[in-house]
Amino acid sequence: MLDFRKSLINSTLNKVLQRLHYPLEVMLTCVRWYVAYPLSLRLVEEMMQERGVFVDHSTVHRWAIKMLPVLASIFRRRKHPVGRSWRMDETYIKVAGQWKYLYRAVDRVGDTVDFPLTAKRDLAAARRFLERAINLHDVPEKITIDKSGANTAAIESVKADACVDQGEFSL
């Protein structure tokens, strides 16, 4: 497992893990279960106890808070680049009893560009989504949308502010 640790973790994560005393496999398993599945921290604690590992739910929470931002940046760097033609849309879903808007962009082959969740469906939310996607993946050649007013206005606004050539970035 030592080779696994060296190959997976960079110096930033090593700094985070320096003061943590549990084995890396235990910490990563707990954080993965907590993030990947709809489990509460107490359920993760109980599942680990069934496997003979006694860890408190608040400890798992601290691990998640410390490790997830670093792991996200590591995985983002290793993510394959997306295509230059995007399809962008939004839908509404109920989250904790409240309606939220899920913006999503995928490339031509269906790889996800980005997918934020927002409280409102307006120009500001669409623009934040588009700017974040462009910052992560560079300016696309083409964006296909359903001609919603907010998305159209956001694309035109980003074009105007970035002084993007019309031929380089089109709807």
Give the pair of three-digit tokens for residue 158. 């980003």
Residue 2 maps to a domain: no
Query: 138 lies in which domain range?
Result: 85-162
What digits encode the pLDDT tens for the residues 52-91? 999 999 999 999 998 888 888 777 777 778 888 999 988 9
Boundary residue ending a domain (47, 78, 109)? 78
Residue 170 maps to a domain: no
Name the nearest CA neighbour of 151 among 125, 126, 114, 118. 126
Instruction: Kindly state whether residues 115 and 140 are assigned to the same domain.
Output: yes
Residue 26 maps to a domain: yes
Q: Chain-wide mean pLDDT for the chain?
A: 83
Report how far residue 106's alpha carbon sits from residue 121's, in angstroms, rounded to the nearest whole number.
19
Q: Is pLDDT larger for residue 171 or for residue 104?
A: 104
Instruction: Kindly state whether residues 92 and 38 are assigned to the same domain.
Output: no
Boundary residue ending a domain (26, 55, 78)? 78
Q: Report how many domains make up the chain.
A: 2
Spell out a b/e string for 68-99, using b for 16 or more CB atoms within 10 Å of the CB, else e. eebbeeeeeeeeeebbeebbbebeeeeeeeee
Instruction: Kindly state whether residues 65 and 93 are assigned to the same domain.
Output: no
Report how far residue 85's alpha carbon sits from residue 108's, in angstroms, rounded to the nearest whole number.
6
Instruction: Kindly state whether residues 153 and 91 are assigned to the same domain.
Output: yes
Boundary residue ending a domain (56, 78, 100)? 78
8 Å CB contact between 130 and 154? yes
Q: What is the pLDDT of residue 158?
A: 87
Q: If pLDDT is split at 50, 70 and 90, which confidence band does 48 have?
A: very high
Instruction: Kindly state whether residues 90 and 60 are assigned to the same domain.
Output: no
Q: What is the pLDDT of residue 1?
A: 45
Residue 128 maps to a domain: yes
pTM over 0.75, yes/no: no
Report how far residue 72's alpha carbon sits from residue 16's, in angstroms, rounded to the nearest whole number.
14
Q: What is the pLDDT of residue 10?
A: 57
